[in-house]
Amino acid sequence: MLKKIISLTGSKRGGWQLGIVLALSVSTSRAENADALGLIPQPQTVLRSEGVFRLQPPVRIFTDTAARESGEYLAARLRGATGYPVSVEAAIPAQIHQGDILLTAHQAKAGLGDEGYELTVKPGEIKIQAASPAGVFYGGQTLLQLFPPEIFATGRVDGVIWTVPAVQIEDQPRFPWRGFMLDVSRHFFNKAEIEQTLDFMAGHKLNIFHWHLVDDHGWRIEIKKYPKLTQTGAWRKNIGFELDAQESTAYGPDGRYGGFYTQADIREVVAYAQARHITIVPEIEMPGHSTAALAAYPELSCTGGPFNMDLDAGIFNGIYCAGNERTFQFLEDVLAEVFQLFPGEYIHVGGDEVPKDNWKHCEKCQARIKAEGLKDEQELQSYFIRRMEKYINAHGRKLVGWSEILQGGLAQNATVMDWVGGGAEAANGGHDVVMAANDFTYLCYYQSLDRPPKLKAARRYLPLDKVYAFDPVPAGVKPASAPHILGVEGCLWTVFFASMHEVEEMSFPRLCALAETAWSPKAARDFDGFSRRLERHLTRLDRAGVAYWNDHALRIGGWQPAQISAAAKVLEWAVPPQIVEPGQYRLSLNYTQGKHGLKIDWAALLENGQEIVRDTHEGLAGAGYNRPVKARDWNYFLTLPAVKPGAEYAVRVSVSGAGGTNSTGVVFLDPPAADSKK
């Protein structure tokens, strides 16, 4: 369990290619000196010098034509926090004067690539050189991190001396695909919130925004030829997923839950992303996860509907009829409008978790299998994807799909987004691959074993250090096939997260780790150094107003299978003296592994062996906790009215095995002072 400086897990709100080894790694003290800069992601080389650059008004930024947009972006950031007048001059002066900043996209060293840059800070000047506008932009992001954290404030901050340490940085990314996926189908986030997401991506040098626009639970993109997609498919009866209705503001005038982006909204978001050198990859799910579309146009299904969008019926997964020609005409019509909105080369078609029972019983689908000489429904899925790929390729785009598009045979030019395996196989077969392995990149998983009572998340555990340890090049990839690994993507499925605050809290600081995994040289990555840099980086997130997870609870014990029986049994753990104080404590029993669960009857607080307060309710840790989490499930609240001098305190629980006795877990205690900070 990591605590605040190393507390890389907690809730806070405030102000935001392999080859070159870190030059500072030759000396531990010098490396720690570089860590003190708090740069995330870690650049390839960082050489510190004596002195600092001090920003003083009036500020002049000189750019060439290619770097002009990055200069304007940097100027806006500097004006906002400092209040200084900052001008952008569209010409490179013959001589740089004291205090000037120079950005150029024409003078970088060879070998830094399209996104690499050099950043030189001297006491009298700052210079960013790159081979492209993207490189200049990323050099500007590093420069901003070198300023005091207040530079990320959302408004003017007075009383700050705006200095930058003298450094020489050369940098470029390890991978060209550095992505973040946000699911807006389960819960809708408005245009301003999407632009906020793009801002924090840009600050971490992430360059692919995978916009999951379509799923069973909502259709979020306006398609003019098919208006019912948003009239019907963008809305449902309630928020669903056992969430409090007040956790989101995404309600229409009629009270229905949901929303969608107009085509004008999407054009604005795309332009906003392009200004930050982010490419948007839209996902239009097919052939499964299509209930929202089928609720609007049930004739595209095998059964003809009706389809329930109210979520009261539980989990569902609509599937298009693969034997109906109207299905393919519909999807081609939809994609034709998508092509007009998104200029990037990739179109994501999903292709995951396709239930094929309807196909097995559909006369049209079975006729398609026979007519095309297909073996079974698996090959029918491959036929579906291959057919859509031909249409996508004919319009100069590339198809991306989840791991399951490998089933039945991979489409000729498809890119695989590997979430459950198949990445090495695809790469060795000559296909490009984006690694989104759920064990390492799914930010919807719990990031701490101490699960707060109000937090709902997917059933698995993904701590910060595991995210950081991820190597996107999977085992089994042949050296000659390694270039087919385009990069890595963090994925946030919003099943349990209906507000942007929760999206940020689940993303950070794990997205910081993933950004470094995607950008920094593998040989330079070091979790201890990252932890030191993250301490400073969190203050930037504070200033930028970005929520992040910060764990205050203390691990006080745990349980093993040998301690559990079928009958109720009492377990007890001491309360550490250093956290004893009056107020309400939260006791959390967290399953870690095993075949069975732990049933909890009650928990009590003891003073010198005598029970002084008890919380009685049925809790379950482990088996069954993959269902939507109810508050106070495995969390117990115990209030200590006053501390008795010299007294010893402990917590006691009554537990038994749920379905068996094979479970292991850990126990956390959240003291009153820590709880008040959340």
| Residues annotated as part of the active site | 215, 289, 353
Per-residue DSSP letter, 91: S
H/E stretch holding 362: none
Nearest CA-CA partner of 614 in 601, 605, 627, 623: 605
Give the angle 60-65-67 at the CA atoms, nearest 5°: 65
Q: For the chain, percent helix, then strand, then coil, each to nearest 5?
A: 30, 25, 40
Task: List the structure tokens of 282.
Answer: 């839209």
Partners of residue 602 on adjacent β-strands: 616, 654
Residues 6+ apart with CB under 8 A from 405: 349, 351, 381, 382, 385, 411, 414, 416
With b meaning 16 or more CB within 10 Å and e meaning fewer, what string describes 321-341? bbbbeebbebbeebbebbbeb
* Cis previous bond, 58, omega within 30: yes
Question: What is the separation of C-alpha 493 from the centre of its chain, rounded to a whole number of angstroms?
Answer: 9
3-state secondary structure 414-435: CEEEECCCCHHHHHHCCCCEEE
In this structure, are residues 142 and 77 in contact, taking their beta carbons and an 8 Å threshold? no
C-alpha to C-alpha distances, 93 to 22, 140, 165, 180, 477, nearest whole angstrom: 33, 19, 24, 39, 49
With b meaning 16 or more CB within 10 Å and e meaning fewer, what string describes 136-156? bbbbbbbbbbbbbbbbbbeee
Distance CA 116, CA 130 (A): 6
Instruction: Count the alpha carbons within 13 Å of 227 in the hemisphere toward its beta carbon.
Output: 0
